[in-house]
Structure 1
Amino acid sequence: MGWSSSRWGRSAGALFGAVVLAYLAGAVLSWQFFANGGYPAFFPPAGVTVAVMLLTRRSRWPLIVASIVVAEIVIDLKQGSAFGAALGYALANAVEPVVGASLVRTWCGGRPDLSQRKDLMKFAAGAMVVGPLAGGAIGAAVIATNFGAPWGVSALRWWAGDVLGVLVVGTPILLWSSQWPALRARWVETAAVLTTAALVPLTAFWQLVPASMTMLPLLVWAAIRLGMLGAALVGAVVAVAINQMLTTGHVLFPALGLSPTGAFAITQAYLAFMVLVAILIAQEVDARIRAVGERVIERRERIRIEALAELARQLAADLTPADIGRTVAAAVLQNVGAQALTLGLVDHDGDTLQWVTMAGYPPDVMAQFADGLKLSAPSAATDVILTGRPVILRDMADFEERYPTTAQWMTALEGSSAVIWPLITGGRTVGMLSVLWRDPQPLDEAQVAYVSAVASMVAQALVRAQIYADENARAAVLLAAVLPTEPPEIAGLDVGISYHPADAVHGLGGDWYDLIPIPETGATYLAVGDVVGHGLSSVEDMAQLRSAARALAFQGLSPGRIVTELNSFARHATKGRFATVVIAVFDPDTRAVAYAHAGHPPALLRRHRTGEIIRLAEPRGPLLGRLGGSDYPERQLIEGRVTAEPGDVLVLYTDGLIEAGSADLDDGIAEAERLVSEWTEHDALGQSCEQLSQTLSPAPRRDDVCVLAIRFRETD
């Protein structure tokens, strides 16, 4: 407790001291303008104080107010003001940032993001207009009381000086952390523009050239090349230079014949307007650059998804590990621009990693490790096998430090970056996939997600290939690999499953289900699907569809987008068969359930409070694999959304449940609704699903039956 209090005290002292020093420095600069020419210049501390308040918690604001009061009294007394007047000035300069920061935080819902047009306008209204008006009203009253100056004139001077101070000092402070790296990358250009901004206005005054003609090109250049922070910094330098000239009698618009007060006010207003316009230009430029970048990212994402779909289609035709290795090496090396790839499987003894393929490595490396790699040997590949977690290496130094005995894998290719991903099936790590780049890679979320998706598809393809020897045995093992025997435990959800293939002898069917958490988003992905047919071929199609759907779900795609991508995949991967699917994604933060159907019976949502059954029949899409990609409905036309309350139950099922006892599907769905409406919160979902299957579709069955139900619990 004592250490924590001491740390807080040091932090508070540092904040107090920093604000006092910054305030004194800005105030001395402003008073220097007073002393030289008699006209008040812009007031930099106004920008410092409001920016600091916007960047700190409200609990620290009293400390900031205290630092303002102390600094203002010190500077006023040094300038010869009476103590009473100094207190009045301190009050005005303390109220101003409190009012401005409070309004901005309220309007923006927290700290403003000045890169957003709405937040910038709210910042201008609160911190540059209302706040200085409040401070100016109090300050003008103090001036009128102590010196007899007209209140209106004093208020105008105060407000105009503080508006510019907030804009050219407060704005750079707020933008500094996010935009300084961009300026640092162009430090030579930044220094040159700032130096020019300091000298050109002075030269313009001496050469009798309108300062606006020299100021505008500089501000526009800074806005386009240096961003919002660069424009604000150039504005600050120009403001200092022009106000310095103003104190020596060089007014900005001499032809107007304005009084000193008018000349001062119009100068500050003009400067503020031009700087604000430059910042808005910079904001628009940044927005357009971001839009172009987003389009590039979207295009790359589309290409990546298409590449994954094509890889899945090719893997669906591969029946041996060697075929899979060749397909993966050719596709991945081309799609991600990598130099080398290895695909390995743990042998039957479980102590050696045997290579399925090694592509892109020099012959000496391939010869040295041709016999595989013992799992006891320290390496990135064995780490992945033993831990079941991926290894991501962004530079050669990291590789050499962690795995010195196998560093030749990287040095032989002059490699810079690598990703090694586990191949997991049935909860067991059976192998690994590694991708190596010669050029340094950011290994961002998109790249890592691509490797993860490829590994997921390769794992399923290898499982299928390894059980190719006996049709029924292969199909049984494949089914066990892709359909868990026990429902997974997911926080906030109760899960029940009932699965009965029509082929009770071999246990083979084309129905499938999936239920997985999405780590990146915290959402839960649910799916139930049905591939036409029975036996090995339908199980293979089912496994490919389930694997492809899971890979797409891990990309963070919405249910409607997954369905449209699955349709393109099904056109090539299901050997002319059709398939149906219902997909749902539950977001525990918003409790929203997004769902999409493709030729599948509608999901049922049982409301806990009323027992009402909601049939999620619309919107829906056609069967998978019947229509080409251009003819299939767009995502937004087949995706629906509903809110799930605690205690509600969502039931997904295949048509085998509702076809057995009735020739009319609507009658079958109605009977399922009646039975589900009788469920209670005390019933075990697994038993309820099993009872539903046995009641509506008892053995012997003509079609596979799959029921997946989840009950939404209260979340923390």
Structure 2
Amino acid sequence: MASGGSGASGASGASRLFLVVFLAFALGAVLAWESFGSTLGPTFFYPAAGVTASAMMLSRRALWPAVIAAILVAEILVDTYFGSPPWVSIGFAAANMVEPIVGASLTLAWCAGKPDLRKRSDFAAFIAGACAAGPFFGALIGGTVSSNQALTPWLSTVVNWWAGDALGVLVVASPILLWSKQRDIVLARRLEALGVLAATSLLTIAAFWTEAPPSFLILPVLAWAALRLDMIGAAMAGAVAALLANIMATRGHGLFSTIDVSLPLRVALTQVFVAVVVVVSMLVAQEASGRLAAVRSGEADRRERKRLETLSRLAQQLSAALTPDDIGAALTEHVLNDAGAMSLALGLVTPDGDRLEWVTMAGFPPAVLAEFGDGVAISVPSVVTDAVRNGQPILVPSASDYLQRYRDNVHWLQISQTESVVGWPLTSGKRPIGTLLLGWSEAQPLNEAQLAYIAAVAALAGQALMRARAFVDEVADAAVLQSAVLPINSADTPGLQVYVTSEFADLGHSLAGDWYDVMALPGKRTYLAVGDVAGHGLPAIEDMAQVRSAGRALAHQGLPPARLLTEVNGFTRHVSHGKFATMAVVIADSDEGALSYCLAGHPVPLLRRAGTGEVIALADASGPVLGHKAQEGYADASLRVEKDDLLVMYTDGLVEHDGLAIEDGIARVRRAIADWDCSTPVAELCRELLESLAPSGGGELCILAVRFAEVR
């Protein structure tokens, strides 16, 4: 249902885009034929080029075929209506399809997305890509077709086509691209905008009718539009000026009417002139807008912007902080270094409520750290303790204010040369759980914006501390469950020397679901298993305990590996927290000198032959992960073992870490095992393997190694 709805929505969007582009392109093309001198050749002003270029820059690439289809249909219909031969219509359609594709693609690539013409770099990319490069490629095609049709010089025809389309893109696409970002400026000054457009119309007609220098009449009104209505005002006024200038030029009026060249060339020169004037006016608007913003943006605004940036980065880092130390480091980096505070302390109330102990203290001189580093008693009056007791921020804007309120411990302020101090309570619900202390070497205004920033920092820190407490409690519970589930002492395994080594996360990191199991079975058989449950934390440990216990119980009933994994798969699907698990099971039989095995999505165990040193991957009985589907098929595989053969089973933490692909990791383990000396104790071999191949930053993994010491 969702897929069908998405497809219908996409088709509807493409249909709407086709209709809009078709109507706008057809209107622009008809205007070009009727009003802009199409009988002269491709010199006419072509607003349709701006429609298609902006449509592609504003729509997803998946919708570009709708734009291309609209161009093709509209071009052929309009050209046929005005009597162009079919081959000419197809050639013009090809030119007008290639042009926006090239222009939009280059502009989007150079701008790394939709262009924002308010930015100087994006505007330059738009001019170079959409206004210059795109029309150039279109002109190569369209100019060639037009030259062959009208038997005109190829070069001049191509140049004329390029000038007309370039101007069309500039003055039509610019307002369209700017509308979503600057329409509020126009809507807020509707009457002034109408006045600018009316004045542009009158002055353009006057300039071209009287043959007066157009820049004297047109530039002032475009400057008015730029200064008062920003870039969108300059673009809209430029569109009006371009439209009327082309109409006047094709009728023999204007700046270049007295030059002894062909009319198409005079029109092309007019278009270049208008384009330059429009670009200049838009650059003036950019510059004026930037200067105005700089004037309005004082030091307070810059500080506020920096605070907001700091808050954003702080929120991101605190969201990933797992321990109080992580939280303290994040506050030190972003609040102390980025936001201009000189010193910072983060304290938590002890469980008995008698003291405030510091999570972090930064920016304080050694003497202050030596005196207060162990924390402070809640009963001692101070900025931080008052904030905890009252549950309200304590603001001290100057050292003199501090002296009046806390005369008995003002010496720390003097030692650290602190001028302004703020103590902000950290709360959980309505109960204060700690304090954030900030100090500055210069007097602070402590205005509304600054206090809002401190409140946000305190709120983020308080939430992060509560998450860290909950996380540490969960990890501790998970560690207790993990240690209770996983065997510490080796099982009595006749004929086998078994060694298990593992690495698990400390309380600062979330535990994963890696596990192992060794259990003696009747008839000198031994059940060996390793596994990994997806996820981290207490849910993963709970799932691990259930999966491991299920496998152990089924092995005790005498099930072979494949049947065992089939049953565990169904069990896992019903009892896990929606996660999957992997597992490798081996049943070793010392009397028979054989082992049988089966894998459920787990990395392959490796068997080293004592006689030859060959390392064999037990990969002939690999099945899907546990818990993914209710009915999965697993098959057993078996092989003979000899005395002193070594079997190594492990979890993926040994072979997939630090950007290492799992296949490469297995190959590393395989090479390491091949170099083993069979006379070396298994425990020592495993420790060497762990030291050489374990993750550099620590991680969850298990290694279960077995030497077949007695084989018949």
Q: State the TM-score, normalized to the length of structure 2.
A: 0.49
State which structure, 1 or 2, has the greater radius of gyration over its C-alpha atoms: 2
Q: State the TM-score, normalized to the length of structure 1.
A: 0.49
